[in-house]
A and B are shown apart, each in its own frame.
Chain A
Amino acid sequence: MDLATLLQVLDSTVRLATPLLLACLAGLFSERAGIFDIGLEGKMLAAAFFSAAIASITRDVWIGLGAGIAASLALSLLHGLASITFRGNQLISGVAINFLAAGLTVLIAQDWFSQGGRTPSLIGAGRFEPIVLPGAEALAGVPLLGPIYAELISGHSILVYVAFAMVPLTWWLLYRTRFGLRLRAVGEAPEAVDTAGISVVGLRFVAVGICGVLCGLAGAYLATALQAGFVKDMTAGRGFIALAALIFAKWRPWYALYACLLFGLLQAVALRYQNIDLGVFVVPVQFMDALPYILTVVILAGFVGKAIPPRAGGEPYVKER
Chain B
Amino acid sequence: MDKMPGWADAVLVPLISLILAAILSALVIIGIGEDPIAAFNLMVEGALMRSSGWGYTLYYATNFIFTGLAVAIAFHARLFNIGGEGQAMIGGLGVALACLYIPWPNWYVALVGATVSAALFGALWALIPAYLQAKRGSHIVITTIMFNFIAAAVLNYVLVNLLRPQGAMDPATARFPEPTHLPTFQEMFSTAAEPMFRGAPANVTFFLALFMCLAVWVLIWRTKLGYEIRAFGESESAARYAGISPVKITVVAMLISGGLAGMMALNTTMGEAERLVMNATEGAGFIGIAVALMGRSHPLGVLLAALLFGFLYQGGAELALWTNIPRELIVVIQALVILFTGALDNMVRMPLEKLFLATRRKA
Complexed CA–CA distance, A197 and B251 (Å) = 42
Contact of A110 among B137, B326, B350 (CB under 8 A): B326
Query: Which segment of A127-135, A137-145, A282-290 sits at the interface?
Result: A282-290
Whether the Cβ atoms of B343 and A92 lie closer than 8 Å is: yes
Query: Please, which residues of chain A bring their CB within 8 A of the CB of B347?
Result: 82, 86, 88
Shortest CB-to-CB span from A234 to chain B, Å, is 14
Contact, CB under 8 Å: A103 / B331: yes
For chain B, the bracket of interface size reads 35 or more
Which residues from B are CB-within-8-Å of A93? Answer: 339, 342-344
Q: Known contacts A86-B347, A88-B344, A107-B32; is A284 also within 8 Å of B332 by CB?
A: no
A89-B332 in contact (CB<8A): no
Chain B CB within 8 A of A276 CB:
no
Residues of B within 8 A of A294 (CB): 146, 150
A107-B328, A287-B157, A301-B132 known; A92 vs B138 contact (CB < 8 Å): no
**Contact code string A291-318 (vs B, CB < 8 Å = 1, else 0):** 0011011001110000001000000000
Chain B residues near A86 (CB-CB < 8 A): 343-347, 350
Contacts of A77 in B (CB 8 A): none
A contact residues around B166 at 8 Å (CB): none
Report the separation of the CA atoms of residues A91 and B330 in the bound assembly, to the nearest whole angstrom: 21
Closest to B131 in A: A301
Residues of chain A contacted by B138 (CB below 8 angstroms): 297, 300-302
Interface residues of A in 16-49 (CB under 8 A from B): 38
A96-B142 in contact (CB<8A): no
User: Taking the complex as formed, is A52 at the interface, i.e. its CB lies under 8 A from any CB of chain B?
Assistant: no
Enumerate A73-124 residues with CB–CB distance to B below 8 Å.
78, 81-83, 86-93, 95-100, 102-104, 106-108, 110-111, 117
Known: A96-B339, A103-B332, A237-B149. A82 touches B344 (CB 8 A): yes
* B336 CB–A CB distance under 8 Å: yes
* Option from B149, B289, B326 in Cβ contact (under 8 Å) with A106: B326
Is A296's CB under 8 angstroms from B142's CB? yes
Tell whether, in the assembled complex, residue B286 and residue A95 are in contact, meaning their CB atoms are under 8 Å apart: yes
Q: Does A243 contact B (CB under 8 A)?
A: yes
B161 interface hit (Cβ, 8 Å):
yes
Closest partner residue, chain B, to A307 (CB atom): B138
Q: A92-B293, A103-B331, A103-B332 are in contact. Are A290 and B153 (CB under 8 A)?
A: yes
A residues near B345, Cβ cutoff 8 Å: 86, 88-89
Q: Which residue of B lies closest to A114 (CB)?
A: B324
Min C-beta distance of A117 to chain B, whole Å: 7
Which chain B residues numbered 311 to 337 have a C-beta less than 8 Å away from chain A?
324-326, 328-336
**A104–B336 CA distance with the chains assembled, in angstroms:** 11
B18 part of interface (Cβ distance < 8 Å)? no
| B152-178 residues at the A interface, CB under 8 angstroms | 153-154, 156-157, 160-161
CA distance A91 to B75 in the complex (A): 13
Closest to A232 in B: B328
- Chain B residue at minimum C-beta to C-beta distance from A98: B335
Report whether B338 and A92 are in contact in the complex, using a CB–CB cutoff of 8 Å: yes
Check if A228 is an interface residue, CB within 8 A of chain B: no
Measured in the bound complex, the distance between the Cα atoms of B34 and A110 in whole Å is 13
Indicate if the CB atoms of A106 and B145 lie closer than 8 Å.
Answer: no
Q: Are B33 and A111 in contact (CB under 8 A)?
A: yes
Are A99 and B142 interface neighbours, CB within 8 A?
no
Inter-chain contact B339/A296, CB cutoff 8 Å = no
Whether A92 and B289, one on each chain, are in contact in the complex, defined by CB atoms closer than 8 angstroms, is yes
Q: Is the CB of A88 within 8 A of B346?
A: yes
Judge whether B143 is part of the interface by a CB distance below 8 angstroms: yes
Residues of B within 8 A of A106 (CB): 326, 328, 331
- Measured between beta carbons, the chain A residues less than 8 angstroms from B330 are 103
Whether, in the assembled complex, A244 has its beta carbon less than 8 Å from a beta carbon of chain B, the answer is yes
User: Any chain B CB within 8 A of the CB of A247?
Assistant: yes
Q: Which residues of chain A have a CB within 8 Å of any CB of chain B?
A: 38, 78, 81-83, 86-93, 95-100, 102-104, 106-108, 110-111, 117, 237, 240, 243-244, 247, 284, 286-287, 289-290, 293-294, 296-297, 300-302, 309
Given known contacts A91-B82, A92-B338, what 16 new A-B pairs fall within 8 Å (CB)?
A88-B346, A95-B82, A95-B338, A95-B342, A96-B338, A99-B338, A100-B336, A102-B328, A106-B331, A107-B28, A111-B33, A117-B326, A293-B147, A294-B146, A297-B143, A300-B142
5 smallest beta-carbon distances between A and B, as pairs: A103-B331, A93-B343, A99-B335, A103-B332, A290-B153
13 of the cross-chain contacts (CB-CB < 8 Å) are A88-B343, A88-B344, A91-B141, A92-B80, A92-B338, A92-B343, A99-B286, A103-B334, A111-B324, A240-B149, A244-B142, A247-B142, A297-B132
